[in-house]
Structure 1
Amino acid sequence: MRKNGGNAGRGRIRGVLFDKDGTLFDYHGTWGPILSEVAAALAGGQVSLVPAMLASIGYREETGRFEAGSIAAAGDTFALADAWRGLLGVSDRERLVARLDGYFAELGPERSIPVTDLGVYFQAMKGRGLTLGIATNDVAASAAGTILRFGLSDYIDFAAGYDSGHGAKPGPGMALAFCAASGLAPADIAVVGDNMHDLEMGRGAGAGLLVGVLTGTSGEADLAPLADHVIADITLLPALLD
């Protein structure tokens, strides 16, 4: 656990806004297979395109992982579509985005691997009187489907995707929308995520606490410059809030 200067300790935290993939769900175990499958489906019979497609969004064969801050790790569907359009010879950006979002809305909830028992975890967090939210650069339908699949509807007060009308990360829009929906001031919330764009969202919104987790694509050295704390995973957050 690392403590940075930042906003840490600026009063009691009353709400927590979580990133989804890499934070609530193991990034590589979930999205490595999904993105490989989607790339293969889009490539059709041109299977030789798949390695180049994955490399273009940050996959490194030598490590078997997507790089921190890459399109796969931090981008939205538009960035992904733009990386693949030239390789696939696709001119219709909107159609490709819609196709990708369709895959993600179906496969994301079905294949996500939680980092802990999320039902138990969120019930306990809710029992602390916290307002809870999810902000993701995934499509909103994938976030909604994931909340339903894991039985989190009674605990999650707010959920937004890149297409929810608040803008995508690293912009502050989703964090500010969470505050508006909950009636909390930005200084009252913690933002928890596995990537710099999560922390940049929180910093831009004026969040009271920025927490990095190591269940995604980033290491401690990636997150430490912006995070007030870097922890192994979300199970250590309750003790940190105490």
Structure 2
Amino acid sequence: MAATGIAGILFDKDGTLLDYVKSWVPVNYELARIAAKGDNDLARTLLYAGGMDPDTGHVAPDSLLAAGNTVEIASGMVAAGAPFTVEELTTLFDGLFACSADYAVPVTDLAAFFAGLHAKGYRLGVASSDNERSIRETAKRFGFDNYLHYVAGYDSGYGVKPEPGMVLGFCAATGLMPEQVAVVGDNNHDMHMGRRAGVGMTVAVLTGTGSRQSLADASDHCLADITELEAALTA
């Protein structure tokens, strides 16, 4: 697909800007420990329910832990036996995720990466299934907060992935039409969100939980990581 006319880029956060395995597998273990109240057997059960192998740390593409928002993950954990209400676990998980920015591992120098795109005139945003506070903490920590025109989490009022609301919110904030926007993410929730909104390009990256095979149908490009994005945008 030709990239002419792309003026805005909406990024997923985890697995896209941040290396999923290095940043989130340790958080998932802690999430399960919290949800199981320290019961190791239950924690293993909860990880399996979320799509993660507790022994290898592998997270299945498009599983609950790969693509779910906080409420969805909490609901899944409760359904699998976590001794909390969904509301209680959501609050605990949101707190854990907000702190996780301190331990996140970026895919590249994000300040320089966003500065380069900003200098070329692109409108930039982040849309994540994480909470908005976590996104802003991550952007501040890695020095790209001043380059963002838009931030949306599952709790920002634009709906949740794979619904199109976060993309349409980005368009409203930037004055762009959907066909002028590229959505960049690591799982099919991102790709389907973009397709439902009618974006000009969907770009998958392999720094998360998706594979070339799992992402092929819904992406226009599948890249090793975001450092290959500019070449795809100008192809």
Scaled to the shorter chain, the TM-score interval is over 0.9
State the shift of 1:53 in Å.
1.1
Q: 2:233 aligns with which of 207, 220, 241?
A: 241
Q: Does the alignment pair 1:13 with 2:6?
A: yes
State the shift of 1:47 in Å.
2.2
> 1 or 2 for the larger relative contact order (CA 8 Å, sep ≥6)?
1
Q: 1:212 aligns with which of 191, 195, 204?
A: 204
Aligned to 1:116: 108
Paired AA for residue 221 in structure 1: Q
State the shift of 1:40 in Å.
1.4
| RMSD, matched Cα | 1.3
Aligned to 2:60: 67
Q: 1:44 aligns with which of 6, 29, 37?
A: 37
Task: Give the gaps of 5 or more residues in structure 2.
Answer: none
CA, structure 1 residues 40+229, in 2 after alignment: closer, same or farther (shift >3 Å)? same
Q: TM-score, normalised by structure 2?
A: 0.95
CA, structure 1 residues 62+96, in 2 after alignment: closer, same or farther (shift >3 Å)? closer
Q: 1:76 aligns with which of 69, 78, 87?
A: 69
Task: Give the gaps of 5 or more residues in structure 1.
Answer: 1-7
Aligned to 1:5: none
Paired AA for residue 69 in structure 1: D
Paired AA for residue 24 in structure 2: W
State the shift of 1:97 in Å.
0.9
User: What number of residue pairs does the alignment pair up?
Assistant: 233
Task: Give secondary structure in 2 for the equivalent of 1:211.
Answer: strand
Deviation per residue, 1:66-103 (Å, 9 max, x gap): 0001000011111111111141222x221221111111
Counterpart-to-counterpart distance in 1, 2:229 and 2:31 = 33
Paired AA for residue 241 in structure 1: L
Aligned to 1:3: none
Task: Give secondary structure in 2 for the equivalent of 1:17.
Answer: strand
Task: Give secondary structure in 1 for the equivalent of 2:217.
Answer: coil
Paired AA for residue 28 in structure 2: L
Percent identity at matched positions? 44
Paired AA for residue 118 in structure 2: K
Paired AA for residue 183 in structure 1: G
Contact 2:35–2:89 (Cα < 8 Å) also in 1: no
